[in-house]
Structure 1
Amino acid sequence: MKNHHYQTNVTWTGNTGEGTKDYRGYERSHDINVEGKHSILGSSDPNFRGDKSRYSPEDLLVASVSSCHMLWYLHLCTTAGIVVTAYEDTAEGVMLENNNGSGCFTLILLSPVITISDESLIDKANELHKEANKMCFIANSCNFPILHEAKYKIAAI
């Protein structure tokens, strides 16, 4: 087994002058940085006093699951001889907020539209989502279901 390490820097940028003196007196804005990469502008979800123009941790979790699944799926298609020419996922996460303000995700639904070159391989292509889910690093780190409802198109020849 091999360990991989990831380092990020998160800097709160929402001090409006008095810090966290009052719950409503500060912004939830922050910058997410990884050395050598573009910054991600973060905030909390707008339901929790966040800036809707910035990414929330919840947005990033759903995007992480979606992108990890896609990368594994494309790899598995390559090794299975399925030519994918386009892949676009509209993923949705469902989070349950508890009465005390805590919460947890209860599921993520991936809904990719995938274009492949051979219509006879749709069933095989569809089966690979289960394998991609087993291989995805992020999915393996989640304690809630990750579901798939893929749609397929056939590439124009």
Structure 2
Amino acid sequence: MTKTHNYAIDLAWTGNLGEGTANPRAYSRNHDVTVEGVGTISGSSDPSFRGDPTRWNPEQLLVASIAQCHMLWYLGLAAAARIVVTDYQDHPTGTMLEKTNGAGQFSEVILRPEVTIASPRDEDRARELHERVAEFCFIARSINFPIHHEVTIRTT
């Protein structure tokens, strides 16, 4: 049986500088993304597209979503496999290709998880679990570009 999960947010443009969208330079790309009871993400567009570099942009949030989903599923799979993870860090990057008409799309995301585990005996299995995550991660299963993994496994 399939379960349905729905996700609702509120998005509010906060960038009207007095003239609205009278021209492309007349307004800010700033906006707030909120979820009741959670807090606010201050967003803008990428600085390349007249955005505020001190705010999250949608492209960063996409890369963050992929990395978060991967990490959460990895930790769950590790626990089920009785692999004790004591630390997990990631430094992911995403590549977007922009066409001359301004349209674009992501071509790849590279996750670089650095995982510390308790036992050196589990190193191979800990590395293999990263490939299994793709079977489960809701975000990764919903996108149409490759996600690569450059994994580092350490032991305590």
Q: TM-score scaled to structure 2, two decimals?
A: 0.98
Measure, in 2, the Cα distance between the counterparts of 1:30 and 1:115.
Answer: 37
What is the Cα deviation at residue 18 of structure 1?
0.4
Q: Unaligned stretches of 5+ in structure 2? A: none
CA contact (8 A) 2:126 2:153 kept: no
Determine the C-alpha separation between the residues in 2 that align with 1:136 and 1:111.
16
Deviations 1:48-84 (A, max 9, x none): 0000000000000000000000000000000111000
Alpha-carbon distance between aligned partners in 2 of 1:54 and 1:62, rounded to the nearest angstrom: 15
Distance in 1, Cα, partners of 2:71 & 2:134: 9
* Aligned-partner Cα distance in 2 for 1:100–1:134: 35
Give the distance between the partners of 1:15 and 1:150, measured in 2 at CA. 44
Shift of 1:122: 1.0
Q: How much has 1:90 moved relative to structure 2?
A: 0.4
Aligned to 1:38: 39
Q: CA-to-partner distance for each residue in 1:79-116, whole Å, 9 max, x for gaps?
A: 11100000010000000001110100000000011110
State how far apart, in whole Å, the 1-side matches of 2:135 and 2:60 are. Answer: 22
Structure-1 residue corresponding to 2:144: 143
What is the CA distance between 1:130 and its match in structure 2? Answer: 1.0
1:126 corresponds in structure 2 to 127
Deviations 1:100-148 (A, max 9, x none): 1010000000001111001121111111011112210000010000011
One-letter amino acid of the counterpart of residue 76, structure 1: L
Computed over aligned residues only, the root mean square deviation of the Cα atoms, in angstroms, reads 0.6
The Cα of 1:25 is off from its aligned counterpart by 1.0
Q: In the alignment, is residue 49 of structure 1 matched against residue 64 of structure 2?
A: no
TM-score by length of 1: 0.97
Q: Which amino acid aligns with 1:141?
A: S
Structure 1: distance between partners of 2:154 and 2:28? 44
Q: Distance in 1 between matches of 2:148 and 2:120?
A: 23
> What amino acid is the match of 2:148?
L
